[in-house]
Structure 1
Amino acid sequence: MRHHRRTLVAAALAAIAVVGTAGWASGTAQRAVTGPPPGSAAWRADGSLGRPLPDPATASPDQVARFFRSLTAPQREALIRRHPLVVGNLDGVPVALRYRANAVAVRAARDPRYERLARPGRQILAFDPRGRGQVAEVYGDLTATGRVSVVVPGSDIDAGSFDRTRDPYGTPAGMAASLRAATKDRTAVIAWAGYTTPVGAGPDAATGELAEAGAERLVRFTQGLAASGVRKPALFCHSYGSVVCGLAAHQVNASDIVVFGSPGMRARDVTDLRTDARVWAAKDPTDWISKVPNVEFAGLGHGEDPAGPGFGARRIPAKDARGHTGYFAPGTDSLRAFAAVARGEVR
């Protein structure tokens, strides 16, 4: 009975304390953005090519890739002009076409929140203005490089906070840029804010509903990379993003799964993840995430600590990471280890 009461208390604490880049802020309930890209109805109704376009809701990334390989250059450009949001967000579309389509879509949004995304030179791989907005950006040459990484962020990240200047190493853009620099620009890194994240600490952060929706999107995103000829990536999963990666692990196309500042992966141990990817974990002693109970009870909490000795993940040093958002800070042991994983230098 005493153990049962401790479990109940821990679960209640998890509901209050779990997990985000914003720390102890109060949470706000979020509804996950799911399904095909915006504009899909008009895309399906488009008969300009004299044949059906692949249905964004049912076509696999491989089918999408084959369809686009069958098009002429003018046909591809016409689809970008008519359906930029679909072309820019449809997994399996060639990378260069997605960049051009999303540049059109960002400009067409005419929203001050997205003006910086339209700046020349930015390689926007995904842009979905629904809800709080989702975005993915590529640092480096995605199709020519030998190594690719994907940063999966935690709570309080959306199109508006994707590349904020405050607390940059708590943002996917800041983490991606720092990782690429640490590899001496020998890798490509994708900052992927491609799912609806929790806001603050509250029920959304303590439960797995948003993570489940995010996991489905992450799996399809990595399948789309493979269909586009991109190398199998290493995933770097921060905070609530590690819950997403844990739920996606058995299907995601990844060489490595690196979690840091994690509240749990909804798994008892590495074998429970059912993945062939190598699993790594880091936790700084000063990270407030250590105050979050590692329990999963009645849908609350996210289970065992991936950085704990019994989980079975490969450990990454993080003694000097300085808190919950310091793992990618220049000069830290954690960043040096991340760079070695990203370059494929550790076995």
Structure 2
Amino acid sequence: MRRFKRTLVAAALATSVMAGTAGWAAGSRQAAVTGPPAGTAAWRADRSLHRQLPDPATAPPAGVAAFFDSLTPARQHELAARHPLVVGNLDGAPLPLRYEANARAIAAERAAARARAADPSRPDRDRRAAREQADRCTRLLAPGRQILAFDPRGRGQLAEVYGDWAAARRTAVVVPGSDIDLTTFDRARDRYGTPAGMAGALRAEMARQAPGTPGAVIAWAGYTTPVGLGPDAATGRLAQAGAVRLERFLAGLRTPHAPAVFCHSYGSVVCGLAAHTLDAGEAADLVMLGSPGVRAGSAAGLRTGARVWAVRRNGEDWIGDVPHVRLFGLGHGADPTAADFGARLVSSAGAHGHTGYFTPGSQSLRNLAGVALGSYTPER
């Protein structure tokens, strides 16, 4: 009974913190973007190869990989040209082909955005948003960028590769938390709290520590994230949808070197829900940073073949003020940095705030790169 009362008090406090920090109204309810992208109907109807193309909704990544391996390069490029949004987001397809397809899809989105911006019948607000979208697309088309996923539906989803994934011997994937979408993926403000900033900084630090070891990092913003501190951030609804997408994404990377997966804030909830599907071949490490909980009571409870790490919060991270409870659908459970959780701890010395773990020059970033390189010694 005493334990139950403590749980009720903690749940009430969690609600108070959420409401008091920014207010429930600060977070709008988001519709999770799931399922295959636009253009899937045309892909399913395509009989140009005189065979059924793998269904983007149901074909496992290994089956998709086998299908593309059976095609000549010319046939692969033809499919990418006819169905860029499908091929660009098809887990299991060759990565260079996905880069090519996404460049086509982004160019098409830019053309459509420019047309909307030039349409005098549209309200000024819509035309301004269209111009901003066209500008974003132009930045994504800059030489050297490797866009691994691009889906403009809803708030937009994106994944980008930093480095040569095929040649890399040490790899990592960054899974971000709330308020990340196509518009904030690589914003200039709070840069090292964005997927692009985190991934870029991590790859640079990996190269600094191990210049003779080829490395690559993916920034994966491939799910619908919560906006603000509303109910979406306190429940697992969006994380459940994101976990399914993360599972498929990791399974489709086709690499002999399983990545370390860095899961920040609400992204750690996504990773926690996906963990039981990941063996050591799909994720060598799961690293929870600034986590509100991972919907498991312990590292063993994640039932994963990956090593589980947690970044010790510094005193400035506001996530430390949110009680780690789970009750009536609210909250995400135990603190992964707690001693009885059983994760390997990573020091966050030098980091500041909730989004400072990847700040260049910090001991925190050096330690995270050490985890990705397999050279970091845990605190316990």
Q: TM-score, normalised by structure 2?
A: 0.86
Q: What secondary structure is seen at the aligned counterpart in 1 of 2:207?
A: coil
Deviations along 1:137-158, one digit per CA (max 9) or x if unpaired, are 0000001110110000000000
User: Which of the numbers 258, 270, 277 marks the counterpart of 1:232?
Assistant: 258
Cα offset, 1:14, TM superposition? 3.1
1:278 aligns with 307
Q: What secondary structure is seen at the aligned counterpart in 2 of 1:307?
A: coil
1:316 aligns with 346
User: Which of the numbers 199, 203, 213 marks the counterpart of 2:241?
Assistant: 213
CA 1:322/1:123 → structure 2, altered by over 3 Å: closer, same or farther? same
CA 1:325/1:68 → structure 2, altered by over 3 Å: closer, same or farther? same
1:41 aligns with 41
1:119-134 correspondence to structure 2 within 5 Å: 119-134=142-157
1:182-331 correspondence to structure 2 within 5 Å: 182-184=205-207, 186-225=214-253, 228-229=254-255, 231-252=257-278, 253-282=282-311, 283-331=313-361
State whether structure 2 residue 370 is matched by structure 1 residue 334: no
Cα offset, 1:50, TM superposition? 1.1
Cα offset, 1:86, TM superposition? 0.4
Letter in 1 for 2:30: Q
Aligned length: 342
State whether structure 2 residue 137 is matched by structure 1 residue 114: yes
Deviations along 1:70-129, one digit per CA (max 9) or x if unpaired, are 111221111111100000000000000000000000110023243211111100000011
CA 1:229/1:2 → structure 2, altered by over 3 Å: closer, same or farther? closer
2:127 aligns with none
CA 1:15/1:230 → structure 2, altered by over 3 Å: closer, same or farther? farther
Cα offset, 1:36, TM superposition? 1.7
More deviation, 113-122/151-160: 113-122
Segments ≥4 residues shifted beyond 6 Å = none
More deviation, 83-92/36-45: 36-45
Letter in 2 for 1:72: T
Cα offset, 1:240, TM superposition? 0.3
Cα offset, 1:4, TM superposition? 4.3
CA 1:44/1:311 → structure 2, altered by over 3 Å: closer, same or farther? same
Q: What secondary structure is seen at the aligned counterpart in 2 of 1:8?
A: helix
Q: Write the distance in 2 (CA, Å) between the matches of 1:144 and 1:311.
A: 36
Q: Write the distance in 2 (CA, Å) between the matches of 1:51 and 1:65.
A: 16
CA 1:97/1:230 → structure 2, altered by over 3 Å: closer, same or farther? farther
Cα offset, 1:15, TM superposition? 4.3
CA 1:18/1:215 → structure 2, altered by over 3 Å: closer, same or farther? farther
More deviation, 37-46/6-15: 6-15
CA 1:260/1:68 → structure 2, altered by over 3 Å: closer, same or farther? same
Q: Write the distance in 2 (CA, Å) between the matches of 1:338 and 1:144.
A: 21
Q: Write the distance in 2 (CA, Å) between the matches of 1:331 and 1:325.
A: 15
Q: Write the distance in 1 (CA, Å) between the matches of 2:271 and 2:285.
A: 11
Q: Write the distance in 1 (CA, Å) between the matches of 2:99 and 2:236.
A: 31
Cα offset, 1:330, TM superposition? 1.4
Q: Write the distance in 2 (CA, Å) between the matches of 1:14 and 1:42.
A: 47
Q: Write the distance in 2 (CA, Å) between the matches of 1:70 and 1:15.
A: 54
Q: Write the distance in 2 (CA, Å) between the matches of 1:16 and 1:165.
A: 32
Answer yes or no: is the 8 Å Cα contact 1:289–1:324 preserved in 2.
yes
CA 1:13/1:106 → structure 2, altered by over 3 Å: closer, same or farther? farther
- RCO comparison, higher one (Cα < 8 Å, 6+): 1
Q: Write the distance in 2 (CA, Å) between the matches of 1:230 and 1:63.
A: 17
Q: Write the distance in 2 (CA, Å) between the matches of 1:319 and 1:17.
A: 26
Aligned-pair Cα RMSD in Å? 1.7
1:44-193 correspondence to structure 2 within 5 Å: 44-110=44-110, 111-112=133-134, 113-184=136-207, 186-193=214-221
1:24-39 correspondence to structure 2 within 5 Å: 24=22, 26-39=26-39
Q: Write the distance in 2 (CA, Å) between the matches of 1:254 and 1:264.
A: 19
